Amino acid sequence: MTLTTAQAADCMALLGNYQQLLRRLEHLDKPVIALLGGHLSGHALGLALACQRRYALADSRYSLPQVTLGIMPCSGEVARIGRLAGYQAAMPLLLEGQPFGNAEALQLGMIHASAADSAGLTVLAEQHLAQGSPPRQPWDTPHYRVPGGAPDSRNNLRLLQMAPAMLRARSGGHSPAAEALLCALTEGLQVDFANALLIERRYFCQTVNAPAAKQLMRLAQQSTDLTSTAAQQLRGDLDNCYAATCQTLLEEGVSHALLKNAACGAGLPVPPALRLPTRASQLDARQLCAGRIVERLLHALASTAQQHVQKGALSANEADLISVRLFGFPAHLGGAVSFVLSKQE
């Protein structure tokens, strides 16, 4: 969270050193076996993927949630998962950050076998050790080919052409980490492994310095009782404020379609069902572009949240968290109160 653009070179060097440590694991002349259990997330999964064999308990779970924090994996997860699973299968694992289980991990080659208990894991490890020489990672073997073909192959060309537009439509352009992940995956599968790692750490340093990442990481560190009375009161007031502001905009001549598109494009909830005005001021409607509509909505919500903070009912951080998690204020803006503070700065 405190990393600055001036430290980008140091960040690149640090990540490069860590990536090299993992490459040493892959190239050791002795077997390196990962025995896995529980929920492997983020860099823990990245470390496991650098081991030559991976055996897991049957109820294990896996995830790469970095994208939900506005950043991307940076220890080789993108390069390794892309080469294990293939371009199409790797994309949702990386871009959505949702947990998945053993069946999918086995299918994608992320683990080699599973067992019901730790004794079973030991048996799998001993069987592998009895085979003698350590295996090589698939991408370190001669004549390796990416499963399903490279991104620009005939199998993937249509997805390659459509993916950026689909991602931007889904995120409204507010997820630079997801866009960087897509670039790192696509570019990394078209070069050798060493350059894929270089591409990965470059994109990480780019995303970690984006304002959205700072806000998402700050929100992730906050916790509050979202069932509290104060939280529910703020949530209710935000709902009422949103509906009232939307209604005012309709009465000023903004069409419902324009209102919906502007709100959703900014990452706000879909406007509620409202009564259509019998008469509207077309003069004002011509003056209200999508950007101005969004500003009106965001400032109205921010003002409502600030009132709760000023009354002492909630802290600014709590109000931010509630506005994002309970109401749906755009997370990349940091919450309703932070939005106003950033404007003031």
Domain ranges for the chain: 5-214, 222-344
The answer to which of 97-101, 161-165, 227-231, 337-341 has the lowest mean pLDDT is 337-341
CATH architecture of 222-344: Orthogonal Bundle (1.10)
User: What is the spatial distance between Cα 131 and Cα 126, in angstroms, rounded to a whole number?
Assistant: 9
Tell which wins on pLDDT, 71 or 284.
Answer: 71
Please report the pLDDT score of residue 156 as a whole number: 93
What is the reported pLDDT for 253? 84
Lowest mean pLDDT among 41-45, 223-227, 281-285: 281-285
Average pLDDT rounded to a whole number, residues 42-64: 95
pLDDT of amino acid 345: 56
Task: Please tell me the predicted confidence (pLDDT) of residue 172.
Answer: 77
What pLDDT sits at residue 213? Answer: 85
Per-residue pLDDT band for 288 (boundaries 50, 70, 90) equals: low
Task: Quote the pLDDT of residue 56.
Answer: 97
CATH code for the structural domain at 5-214: 3.90.226.10
Q: What is the mean pLDDT of residues 168-196?
A: 91
User: In this model, does residue 57 exceed pLDDT 90?
Assistant: yes
Q: Is the pLDDT of residue 81 over 90?
A: yes
Q: What is the mean pLDDT of residues 85-102?
A: 93
Question: Quick check: 280 pLDDT over 60?
Answer: no
For residue 207, is pLDDT > 80? yes
Mean pLDDT of 129-149: 89
| Averaged pLDDT score across all residues of the chain | 90
Are residues 36 and 56 in contact, defined by beta-carbon separation less than 8 angstroms?
Answer: yes
The pLDDT, as a whole number, for residue 133 is 74
Average pLDDT over residues 245-261: 89
**Which pLDDT score, from 0 to 100, does residue 222 have?**
79
pLDDT of residue 226: 85
Checking if the pLDDT of 281 tops 60, the result is no
